[in-house]
């Protein structure tokens, strides 16, 4: 569609759309042109040959834009359930952020700690062994491009048990989940000998501890979950960020 109609859209934007949608930002044209060049053999390719069987094929150079878009579409069509979702954001104390600056596998451990604490919380609330649906994304920088590792989860309001029955959890106690998350992460850092047990206990005794959870952004339906919520990060951006997070989680 972009290939066939984008030039016409550019030519007619000022007369048909500018009054309602405002000035056309040049960066939009740049992004679309990069998207159309992605995987185009005119923009470069590499020849690949199997040393064993001699099979050859061409690999087009790609910026991964199309792959991310297709992955996001797959998430929307296949993974997202038609149930209410919440965006759950996990943040950590400032003094712990330095651990995640150079240790590449550590953000993956941060994500696993948050997931374990979330599952534990859901099981306590539901009084049953359940598994919530979760799409996880790792973000390592803040609004000022400063080091600020944190997690954005898109979470179903509840989970399924071993019998595939869904247990609804209509709200999350952020303070309680933050407490579980802090304990889980500090225990992991102590096991990795990155933090002493004494410092872990001292951090947990501080008020506030610096561990925070925010879960107020809510989508009542699957369709709402596909749209950007009013705060933090949009769900489409969440899908794209989750793709880049895979290197940490593998």
Residues whose CB falls within 8 Å of the CB of residue 54, separated by 6 or more in sequence, listed in order: none
- Measured on CA atoms in the order 166, 171, 174, 179, is the torsion positive or negative? negative
**Residue 42 sits in the same domain as residue 161:** no
Same domain for 141 and 211, yes or no, is: yes
Is 74 in the same domain as 41?
no
Other Cβ atoms within 10 Å of 229 Cβ, number: 19
Q: How many Å apart are CA 74 and CA 66, to the nearest integer?
A: 12
Q: Are residues 166 and 187 in the same domain?
A: yes
Compute CA distances 60 → 32, 64, 196, 211, whole Å.
18, 11, 49, 44
Tens of pLDDT along the chain (250 residues)?
777 888 898 899 889 988 887 888 888 888 888 878 877 788 787 888 888 888 888 877 776 666 666 777 777 777 777 889 999 999 999 999 989 888 888 989 999 999 999 999 999 999 999 999 998 888 887 766 678 899 999 999 999 999 989 999 989 999 999 999 999 999 999 999 999 999 999 999 998 999 999 999 888 887 777 664 433 344 434 443 344 334 333 3
Range of the domain at 236: 69-249
Are 42 and 126 part of one and the same domain? Answer: no
Closest CA to 155 of 176, 130, 180: 130
Please check whether residues 109 and 179 belong to one and the same domain.
Answer: yes
Q: The tokens 């007619």 sit on which residue?
A: 12
């Amino acid at each position: 569609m972009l290939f066939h109609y984008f030039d016409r859209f550019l030519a007619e934007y000022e007369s048909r759309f500018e009054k309602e949608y405002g000035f056309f930002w040049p960066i939009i044209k740049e992004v679309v042109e990069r998207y159309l060049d992605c995987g185009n053999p005119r923009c470069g390719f590499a020849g690949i040959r199997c040393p064993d069987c001699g099979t050859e094929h061409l690999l087009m150079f790609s910026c991964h834009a199309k792959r991310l878009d297709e992955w996001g579409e797959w998430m929307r069509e296949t993974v997202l359930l038609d149930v209410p979702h919440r965006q759950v954001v996990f943040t950590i104390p400032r003094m712990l952020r330095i651990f995640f600056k150079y240790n590449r596998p550590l953000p993956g451990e941060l994500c696993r700690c948050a997931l374990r604490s979330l599952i534990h919380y859901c099981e306590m609330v539901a009084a049953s062994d359940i598994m919530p649906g979760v799409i996880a994304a790792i973000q390592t920088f803040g609004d000022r491009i400063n080091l600020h590792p944190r997690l954005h989860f898109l979470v179903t309001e509840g989970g399924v048990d071993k019998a595939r029955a869904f247990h609804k959890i209509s709200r999350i106690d952020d303070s309680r989940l933050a407490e579980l998350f802090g304990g889980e992460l500090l225990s992991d850092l102590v096991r990795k000998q990155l933090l002493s047990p004494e410092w872990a206990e001292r951090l947990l005794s501080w008020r506030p501890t610096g561990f925070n959870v925010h879960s107020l952004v809510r989508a009542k339906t699957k369709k709402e979950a596909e749209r950007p919520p009013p705060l933090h990060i949009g769900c489409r951006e969440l899908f794209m960020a989750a793709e880049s997070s895979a290197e940490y989680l593998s």
